[in-house]
Amino acid sequence: MPSLFDSVQAGDLQLANRIVLAPLTRNRAPDAIPTPLMAEYYAQRASAGLMITEATAISQQGQGYADVPGLYGSEQLDGWKQVTEAVHEEGGKIVVQLWHVGRVSHRELQPGGGQPVAPSAITAKTKTVLIRDGVPTFVDTSAPRALRLEELPDIVHTYQAAARNAVETAGFDGVEIHGANGYLLDQFLKNGANQRSDDYGGSIKNRARLLLEVTRAIADSIGGGRTGIRLSPVTPANDVHDSDPQPLFDYVVRQLAPLNLAYIHIIEGATGGPRELAERPFDYAALKAAYRAAGGRGAWMVNNGYDKALAEQAVKGGADLVAFGKPYIANPDLVERLFRNAPLNEPDKATFYGGGAEGYTDYPTLSNK
Ligand code: 8OZ
């Protein structure tokens, strides 16, 4: 029986253990350029079997928040190169999470001050963050416009170019496609946000088309074995909802199965909240069974509210990888702490988003109290 601390293969990635740094938005990249402080932060966490970066915009159109990093300009790629070098020096593995926010954005962040884009012109009842007088401030998202059919191939190509730049120029070990949490690809999947009547709306097959085209394009370009994807079947994050998520996501993972992806990353329940939602039941074991029955061999990664006991139970139950979010903010040496059953530092919510080293790179390790 494998333990959390045993090595595992995820596609082309040979991982030292099954503990993963979940993608965590930290808003510390002014002008969308990764900084030396970010390199230090990720290097501190390099004992994770795998690190997934914070969500990183593939284009300016894909930007939705102040001070989140991008992956489309040469300075951004150079900044990331410093991050991957620092991580590799520590023997870590790191993939970048590719992000297009779709409608979760604001005109101020969009090219030419235009409207954010979405499958349909439906405003999300959610907030984004802008800097006002130097202070991160929550504001309503701007009303989006529906993407035209002829714009979709360009979005696929933009994802593909970002993936290629990520591995070839920035030195990442792979990429994770952000298909979760109510951003563009999840907006296309779910019928609360997608009311299109063309080939990208209506049936499950049509709503899944963009996500699958993006994933196939990336897998073709950098190899499925370096490509992971994150999905959140029932999260209410960013005001997305599907009337019948089980057949939708069973279909998605069956279609992903032949792509030989490195991993499938599932957020169980409400992102950062309850693992079970009475009003949105979902059978995650059936989802995994659907993927395996269709021949999917990627590592199965689970996430949301895991502690050591729950993680060990998940690994015994057949999960290959467990992603930890909030515990990793406050515990750079989380692997060692879990291994030794050492107490964990508590994360400070006030410093989650924005700021500098405080609450970012200054959490103590066991050997440096
Ligand atoms: C927290 C704040 C802003 C963005 C996600 C990328 O939920 C995010 C995010 C989280 O996936």
Residues 180-228 have pLDDT tens digits of 999 999 999 999 999 999 999 999 999 999 999 999 999 999 999 999 9
Which of 84, 79, 14, 7 minimizes the C-alpha distance to 43?
84
The band of 369, judged by pLDDT with boundaries at 50, 70 and 90, is: low
Q: Considering the domain boundaries, does residue 347 fall inside one? A: no
Contact 53 CB / ligand 1 (< 6 Å): no
Residue 136 has pLDDT above 90, yes or no: no
pTM over 0.95: yes
Torsion of CA 275, 105, 51, 212, to 10 degrees: 80
Contact 237 CB / ligand 1 (< 6 Å): yes
Q: Considering the domain boundaries, does residue 344 fall inside one? A: no
Which of 124, 51, 59, 47 minimizes the C-alpha distance to 90?
47
Per-residue pLDDT averaged across 110-139, rounded? 94
The band of 368, judged by pLDDT with boundaries at 50, 70 and 90, is: confident
Q: Considering the domain boundaries, does residue 40 fall inside one? A: yes
Contact 271 CB / ligand 1 (< 6 Å): yes
Residue 135: per-residue pLDDT:
84
Q: Considering the domain boundaries, does residue 88 fall inside one? A: yes
Residue 253: per-residue pLDDT:
99
15-28 pLDDT tens trace: 999 999 999 999 99
Q: In the structure encoding, which two tokens stand for residue 47, read together? A: 């004992």
Q: Considering the domain boundaries, does residue 11 fall inside one? A: no
CA distances from 207 to 120, 153, 160, 190, 233 (A): 12, 15, 20, 7, 14
Contact 55 CB / ligand 1 (< 6 Å): yes
Q: Which residue is catalytic, options 42, 65, 72, 183?
A: 183
Residue with tokens 């390199």: 39
Residue 48: per-residue pLDDT:
98
Q: Considering the domain boundaries, does residue 352 fall inside one? A: no
Instruction: Give me the domain span that covers residue 155.
Output: 21-306
Q: Ligand 1: which atom is nearest the Cα of residue 183?
A: 11
Tell me which residue has its CA closest to atom 4 in ligand 1.
25
Q: Considering the domain boundaries, does residue 345 fall inside one? A: no
Residue 138 pairs in a beta bridge with 129
Q: Considering the domain boundaries, does residue 292 fall inside one? A: yes
Residue 359 has pLDDT above 70, yes or no: yes
> Residue 49 sits in a domain of what CATH number?
3.20.20.70
Per-residue pLDDT averaged across 260-288, rounded? 97
pLDDT, mean over the chain: 97
CA 246 to chain centre: 21
Number of domains in the chain: 1
